[in-house]
Structure 1
Amino acid sequence: MQNYDQKELTFSVANNAVTHLGRNLYSSAPPALAELVANSYDAYATNVIISIKENDNSLVIADNGKGLNFEEFESKYVTIGTKKQDEIPFKGMDKREPMGQKGIGKLSAFSLGEEYVVYSKTLDSKQWLSFELKYEDMIESGSKHTTTVSLLEKLPDELSEFQIFESGFIIHCKKLRKKLTKRTRDSVILQLSRRFYLTQDDFSIVYDDKIVSLETNFYYQNLEYVIYFGYSNDEINNIFKDNVIKKEKFQGDSNILCFIEDNGIKGWVGSVSKPKELKENTDNIIVYSNGKIADEDILKGKTEARIAKSYMVGEIQANYFIDLEDPITSSRQGLDDSVSEVKDFINTIENIRKYFIGKWDVFRTSVAVEKLPEKIQKNQSYQSWLNTLTPDQKKLNGKLLTLFSAKIDEPVEHDDSYYEEVNSMITAIASVINNIETDELIKIIN
């Protein structure tokens, strides 16, 4: 590297903050990468490329955003934890609401590797500015850490594909702490999709040579029932274009409706047909604030709805949290429920969930027979029996089938033993309905 006339950057950060913000803040690779991608978005990048270099155990995150010059590094980058400055749009782009607030996400690179090299280029520069940071060195330096800045005419060979960028920012994480397995990669793609699909303008992410779909969350195609609030009918139909999904507007408590309207909250809670249609760690209600996930499971501190939770997912837009004083916890675990406004918000969402579960139970009862394996649905004897039932008995049959739904919906191979078990359940249900008064049984179930 060519020394930049011996210019240096001095980072101001307590050593325990490097550990907390660079290591402990992110428990795994996906959220750490998401933080870095969020920084790219805030810098008006339109393309972010994440590339795994297996030959030297490293990872590259590169974007074509504004980049930073030396003076901007001094004023925006080296002091950790100050309020993030608004970026001025460039290349005629519309203004973006910033995803980052405190400027602490930059250290997330230390969650990925023991050291990293930064390369940055602005539109008015023909050279790349570069410097290196090492975790151990920053720990040993105490509250101040100084690194030498260099100027490069060309990027290193392993980064040559990014030389064509007119401007941009590249982080090359080295000595990765954990091997990025296929499962990790799938999890990264899932989290990136969930975190950034709300971006409305020109923004794309490529991870390990695969384009990350940002059009919708993956589970949209599996939803069958949705309760929404804050959205107009046109807005919700634009989100869920599949006419098969049953969509109902929240019609619950008037105080909840007022809270939603007063705070400009928009959201929905929905269910899938079978738990397996929700991938790992997605059976929860996510809160977004200005397009960035503020809480990945807003009701994590509340009593679980057991069976319902494994079928449920939801998304809420609550941009008003940006106006609160530090509503998001520094541990990135979600919204801070010690803040009174957040507590009110969580209680509101819990009540919406309760409303949804009540409605969902009625919906499940109405479609319970349709959820049975096709082989059983079309059984002539079963169809004949169903045709003998009164409306109340059909409703009762649906209720009883939902009680067994956890077994029926198990992600197991539908072999002979499975069909025998389901047949036994249906035979038992038929026997009960045929021999016990419907009104009495419904009272017991309720």
Structure 2
Amino acid sequence: MEKDNGNKLRLTFDPNTIEHLGVRMYSTLPPVLAELIANAYDADAEHVWLNLNDEGNEKEIIIEDDGIGMSFDEINDKFLRIGRARRSIESETTQKRRKIIGKKGLGKLSFFGVAHEIEIITKKNREENAFSMFWEDIKKEDKEYNPKIIKKDYICSADDHGTKITLRKIQRESDFSADNLANSISKLFIIDLNFKIIIQHNSEEPITVGNEIKYIRLEKEVEWKIPDDCKFETTYEKRDQVVGRLIATKKPISPKTNIRGITLFSRKKLVNNPEYFSDSTSSHFFSYLTGWLEVDFIDDLEDDVITTNRQSLNWGHPEIQNLRIYLQNLIRWLEQDWRKKRGEIRENKLSEATGVNIPEWFSKLPDDIREKIEPIIETIVKDSELPEETNQKVVKDLHKIIPEYPYYHWRHLHSALQKVVFDYYKNEDFYTAVFEGAKRYINELKRKSGESITDRDLIENVFSLKDPKLLVTKKYKKLDGNSFDEGTITNIKEGHRMLALAMWQAFRCPISHEEVCDLRDSGLFTENDCLDALSLLSHLYRRLENSES
């Protein structure tokens, strides 16, 4: 772009350049507006307003910022100059110490991808300038086009500054959606706190675009702050210059969201679409991973490694190859850490919802049973995509089928007996469990009957057929209120007395008088015998609990 006696605006161009870098490369709205938003950021704007109007016959988009604006000469020398190597002739930072996003001076062509009429009003240093450009007229010209000047150096207030761009003759049939556009724009920028992007559709409530909009519908499960949360060894020199936030979701991310994978940004703007930096796309983890990383150092490289449309990096460049290797290692570590943390979160949630302490449950299962059940539960905890309610039901049902100490039906022993023998039972010391359980039974029998005698004499006296101190059948009646047959009652009384004596004589006394190793090794008194004895003791405890004087 050159000045012509200071009164004309001139765009010098190759028509194919605008066709390829404008109309074809920018065919959808979000990347076009992203270029204009980037211009506002580089102009030190604190706000940029995007107004989408489609209520009338003609659609219209207005992009307005409160940046520093442009003078007439700057419009000529900077804005209308195609392919200007901006960073080589200007400072790398703005007055507000922002790193310049714009690099090649090609972004201004973007609006021709969606609109055929452009009007620009800009104010700076008390001067207002305005001009318009028409795509149909540009196509008729040969290498030079003079935009239509609307205002030149009009006097305005010192408080007025910034640029307003109006796009007309929009090449789009569908209605605008502020929500959809806000979501798309949030994927293209990391938005500073001191830079507001505000979108309004007609007279609807304005939307302020934030970094979280793109993730708002995701249910996050694990998050990492990079590089602080990285716990793997690496020799990559720029490790600490790769900064951002990564997320693993609770459920797989829909491919339609276009946020699966890690997005790379430089100077707050997207430079590489979300991906996994690997030739493989088969990892189960990939469908849960999203987030962003800032790699600002790539803009400081001598070579330009960002493609013109800022959708990808030049992965063949040596520096970018090193970055890729680091990102591959990072993702491998993330997957391992995710599986560990996800398992812990799910296990805790399952335990809380089901009342089953999974680690404790496993610790109380015999080895051969645990080896079979553990892989099933781990699959539910770590990899199941079934609804939570289904997973919880499976764990509950398995726990019912295979409770702690499953071989010995611990859950059916009388609660009073469980309290006495718990430690011995857990340690599989069943002989001591029987011995201590029988002793406690005798003590409870003395307490409830009020008798001072002990051992066999106590049992015979308390459950005497002629003058019993405790009756184990007294409280029971048939459902119709009638008493049981006297013969039945007598059989139970006498049988119960014999069972109690048998417990004392056949189990408690041998264990008391003989060494356990001799009883066990000879087979005279096996561990299974002990377990049968505990079941008998449990029955005696229940009878005692329900007995009456």
Contact 2:339/2:382, CA 8 A, preserved across alignment: no
CA drift of 1:40 comes to 0.5
Indicate the SS of the match to 1:388: helix
CA drift of 1:285 comes to 0.6
CA drift of 1:179 comes to 4.1
1:181-228 Cα shifts (integer Å, max 9, x gaps): 46x53232123334444424x321210142324365653884332344
Q: Does 1:255 align with 2:249?
A: no
Q: Partners in 1 of 2:219 and 2:18 — Cα distance? A: 41
Contact 1:115/1:134, CA 8 A, preserved across alignment: yes
1:406-427 Cα shifts (integer Å, max 9, x gaps): 3448xxxxxxxxx6x6578668
CA drift of 1:230 comes to 3.4
Q: Does 1:204 align with 2:181?
A: no
CA drift of 1:348 comes to 1.3
| Greater C-alpha Rg | 2
Q: How does 1:151-230 map to 2 (within 5 A)?
A: 151=151, 166-179=160-173, 181=175, 184-200=177-193, 202-208=194-200, 209-214=205-210, 216=212, 219=215, 222-230=219-227
1:244-295 Cα shifts (integer Å, max 9, x gaps): xxxxx22223324x4414xx22234331222359981122211121222221
Partner of residue 102 from structure 1, selected from 101, 104, 109 = 104
Q: Partners in 2 of 1:113 and 1:163 — Cα distance? A: 31
1:31-90 Cα shifts (integer Å, max 9, x gaps): 221111110110111111111121121111111111111110111012212212547999
Report the CA distance shift for 1:342/1:402 in structure 2 as closer, same or farther (over 3 A): farther
Q: Does 1:288 align with 2:290?
A: no
Report the CA distance shift for 1:57/1:215 in structure 2 as closer, same or farther (over 3 A): closer
Give the aligned residue type for 2:227: G
Give the aligned residue type for 1:304: T
CA drift of 1:301 comes to 6.0
Match of 1:342 in 2: 320
Report the CA distance shift for 1:23/1:9 in structure 2 as closer, same or farther (over 3 A): same
Contact 2:92/2:99, CA 8 A, preserved across alignment: no
Contact 1:13/1:143, CA 8 A, preserved across alignment: yes
Indicate the SS of the match to 1:40: helix
Indicate the SS of the match to 1:45: coil
Report the CA distance shift for 1:204/1:30 in structure 2 as closer, same or farther (over 3 A): same
Contact 1:63/1:169, CA 8 A, preserved across alignment: yes
Contact 1:67/1:167, CA 8 A, preserved across alignment: yes
Q: Partners in 2 of 1:152 and 1:146 — Cα distance? A: 14
Indicate the SS of the match to 1:389: helix
Q: How does 1:236-247 map to 2 (within 5 A)?
A: none
Report the CA distance shift for 1:49/1:384 in structure 2 as closer, same or farther (over 3 A): closer
Match of 1:28 in 2: 28
Give the aligned residue type for 2:260: D
Match of 1:389 in 2: 362
**Range with bigger deviation, 280-289 or 202-211:** 202-211
Give the aligned residue type for 2:170: L
Q: Partners in 2 of 1:428 and 1:143 — Cα distance? A: 78
Indicate the SS of the match to 1:360: helix
Report the CA distance shift for 1:310/1:77 in structure 2 as closer, same or farther (over 3 A): same
CA drift of 1:349 comes to 0.5
Indicate the SS of the match to 2:7: strand
Gaps of 5+ in 1: 155-161, 232-248, 410-418, 435-446
Q: How many positions carry a matched residue from both structures?
A: 384
Partner of residue 84 from structure 1, selected from 77, 86, 92 = 86
Match of 2:512 in 1: none
Report the CA distance shift for 1:227/1:215 in structure 2 as closer, same or farther (over 3 A): closer
CA drift of 1:146 comes to 2.1
Indicate the SS of the match to 1:297: strand
Contact 1:365/1:395, CA 8 A, preserved across alignment: no
**Range with bigger deviation, 59-68 or 298-307:** 298-307
1:73-128 Cα shifts (integer Å, max 9, x gaps): 111012212212547999xx622111111121111112221221111111321xx3
Contact 2:276/2:331, CA 8 A, preserved across alignment: no
Q: Partners in 2 of 1:106 and 1:165 — Cα distance? A: 26
Contact 2:377/2:395, CA 8 A, preserved across alignment: no
So what's the TM-score if we normalise by structure 2? Answer: 0.61
Report the CA distance shift for 1:78/1:344 in structure 2 as closer, same or farther (over 3 A): same
Q: How does 1:332-411 map to 2 (within 5 A)?
A: 332-369=310-347, 378=353, 383=356, 388-390=361-363, 396-402=375-381, 404-408=383-387
Partner of residue 265 from structure 1, selected from 242, 260, 263 = 242
Match of 1:47 in 2: 47
Contact 2:66/2:162, CA 8 A, preserved across alignment: yes
Q: Partners in 1 of 2:43 and 2:60 — Cα distance? A: 23
Q: Partners in 1 of 2:158 and 2:74 — Cα distance? A: 22
Q: How does 1:256-335 map to 2 (within 5 A)?
A: 256=236, 258-261=237-240, 264-275=241-252, 280-299=257-276, 302-324=279-301, 325-335=303-313
Gaps of 5+ in 2: 365-369, 404-549
Indicate the SS of the match to 2:138: helix
Report the CA distance shift for 1:347/1:408 in structure 2 as closer, same or farther (over 3 A): farther
What percentage of aligned pairs have identical amino acids? Answer: 21
Q: Partners in 1 of 2:13 and 2:280 — Cα distance? A: 39
Indicate the SS of the match to 1:354: helix
Q: Partners in 1 of 2:53 and 2:158 — Cα distance? A: 20
1:321-359 Cα shifts (integer Å, max 9, x gaps): 111221101133211112221122122101110111111
Q: Partners in 2 of 1:343 and 1:81 — Cα distance? A: 27
Q: Partners in 1 of 2:190 and 2:144 — Cα distance? A: 38
Contact 1:197/1:213, CA 8 A, preserved across alignment: no
**Range with bigger deviation, 137-146 or 308-317:** 137-146
Q: Partners in 2 of 1:205 and 1:357 — Cα distance? A: 34
Q: Partners in 2 of 1:88 and 1:354 — Cα distance? A: 35
The structure richer in strand per residue is 1
Report the CA distance shift for 1:386/1:22 in structure 2 as closer, same or farther (over 3 A): same
Indicate the SS of the match to 1:7: coil
Match of 2:144 in 1: 144
- Where relative contact order (Cα < 8 A, 6+ residues apart) is larger, the structure is 1
Contact 2:262/2:274, CA 8 A, preserved across alignment: yes
Contact 1:400/1:429, CA 8 A, preserved across alignment: no
Q: Partners in 1 of 2:227 and 2:129 — Cα distance? A: 46
